[in-house]
Structure 1
Amino acid sequence: MSEACFLAERSVSRETLARLAAFAALLEKWNPAINLISAGTVAQIWTRHFLDSAQVFDLADAKSGLWADLGSGGGFPGLVAAILALEERPGLSFTLVESDRRKAAFLSTAARELGLPVRVMAERIEALPPLGADILTARALAPLPVLLGYAERHLQPGGRALFPKG
């Protein structure tokens, strides 16, 4: 699946599309070494990973505040949301939490190379002080009861937790 499949479902600027394409290239480059995404889904980056993340971004209707993505792994949905927010919601700030230091290094590198104002925390979620997030996301991280516990600790009152489940 390609950029065209993504664009058939969601409109983005040329600049945003270029950042997403650069992110896809980084994923393909780093994935063999640190398993950011399943090898079976590499061909579906634009639909399974980018489009799914864009749908989460659209559900999180906040225009400003802190978006915290727990267990960010390959950057879904957090890094994709940060790419979309640059033009669509510049008032959002992003914190990506990933305990695997190799994956956290990838996230930091990707954010830097893509020009994204993202903070990456290479720590265990349980060890973090409360984040006070306005939006809290996690994809393929833990069972829902565990995620709700994280939300209770890291989401500020009135915030929104989005936990896409397959």
Structure 2
Amino acid sequence: MISEQDALKEIEKLCMDMDLSTQTIIPDLQKYAQELVRWQKVKNLVSRETLSEIWSRHFLDSFQLAKHIDPNRGIILDYGSGGGLPAIVLAIAFKQTDLKVHLIEANSRKCSFLRHISRTLGLNCTVHDVRAESFVLPENVYVGTITARGFTDLSSMFEICMPHFGVDSVALLQKGRGYDEEIAASKSNWSYDIATFSSVVAPDSVILAISGLKQR
């Protein structure tokens, strides 16, 4: 696993590559880290074992998605947002744009934290306190990017997100080892285009970019 200091440097490098301002992004991430630790005691936002690896295990892992996102193409719709990963990190990354992030989370206590950190950092976020299966997208809202981190298997994910999957939508799904088995299992009911990108955090993890999703 990459060190915390190296993770910070990698985020700064990604900012430069995407012409994003580290002067606003890094302080916001630092504040987010502080609030995650402070609220963790009562909200159980992330695994306790990973609190010492917030920048490497969580922030860099989330931030790397930014280079695959066009902030001018619809909203980001994040399923199972939990403590805000990757959604809050991406909202911080694109804070200076008009990109809006919608977070879907069924745990009301975690929703309280998501609303708190969004207000605290002045992020363009809307938090939906609802189960993903029951979520109804507001009218006239186009989904450009769908994200989910450690949420569910591909077949279940496709069932949930299909109603919100537009013609040009892209789902960026972070997966660990065994993802190829999920792909194979999904092919019987779904057709789609897929691009696979290696994670900068863990050698056995990938980002799956799904487009053209259709049910067979």
TM-score, structure 2 as length reference = 0.71
Q: Which moved more, 1:122-131 or 1:136-145?
A: 122-131
Distance 1:54 1:62 in 2: 14
1:80-103 deviation digits (Å, cap 9, x = unpaired): 00000013xx03111011010000
Q: Distance in 2 between matches of 1:49 and 1:67?
A: 18
Shift of 1:163: 1.0
Alpha-carbon distance in 2 for matches of 1:91, 1:65: 10
Cα distance in 2, alignment partners of residues 60 and 117 from structure 1: 16
What amino acid maps onto 2:173 in structure 1? F
Residue pair 1:64, 1:91 contacting (<8 A) in 2 also = no
CA contact (8 A) 2:50 2:57 kept: yes
> 5+ residue gaps in structure 2?
16-21, 177-216
Q: Confirm or deny: 8 A CA contact 1:67 1:136 kept in the other structure.
A: yes
Q: 1:60: how far off?
A: 2.1
Which residue matches 2:193?
none
Query: Once superposed, which parts of structure 1, at least 4 consecutive aligned residues long, lie more than 4 Å away?
Result: none
Contact 1:68 1:133 in 2 (8 A): yes
CA-based RMSD of the aligned residues comes to: 1.5
Matching of residues 1-166 of structure 1 within 5 Å: 1-2=3-4, 4-11=5-12, 12=15, 13-87=22-96, 90-130=97-137, 132-166=142-176
Deviation at 1:63, TM superposition (A): 3.0
| Number of residues of Structure 1 aligned to a counterpart in Structure 2 | 163
Q: What percentage of residue pairs aligned between the two structures are identical?
A: 33
Contact 1:65 1:91 (8 Å CA) reproduced = no
Structure 1: give runs of 5+ residues left out of the alignment: none
Q: For the Cα contact (< 8 Å) 1:53–1:80, is it kept in 2?
A: yes
Which segment drifts farther, 97-106 or 146-155?
146-155
**Counterparts of 1:140 and 1:77 in 2: how far apart (Å)?**
10
More helix by share: 1
Counterparts of 2:164 and 2:47 in 1: how far apart (Å)? Answer: 28
Give yes or no for contact 2:147–2:172 (8 Å, CA) kept in 1. Answer: yes
Deviation at 1:62, TM superposition (A): 4.1
**Further displaced range: 95-104 or 152-161:** 152-161
The 3-state SS of whatever aligns with 1:19 is helix
Cα distance in 2 for residues equivalent to 1:65 and 1:33: 34
Distance of 1:151 and 1:117 partners within structure 2: 22
Q: Which amino acid aligns with 2:9?
A: A
- Bigger CA radius of gyration: 2
Q: Aligned partners of 1:8 and 1:109: how far apart in 2? A: 27
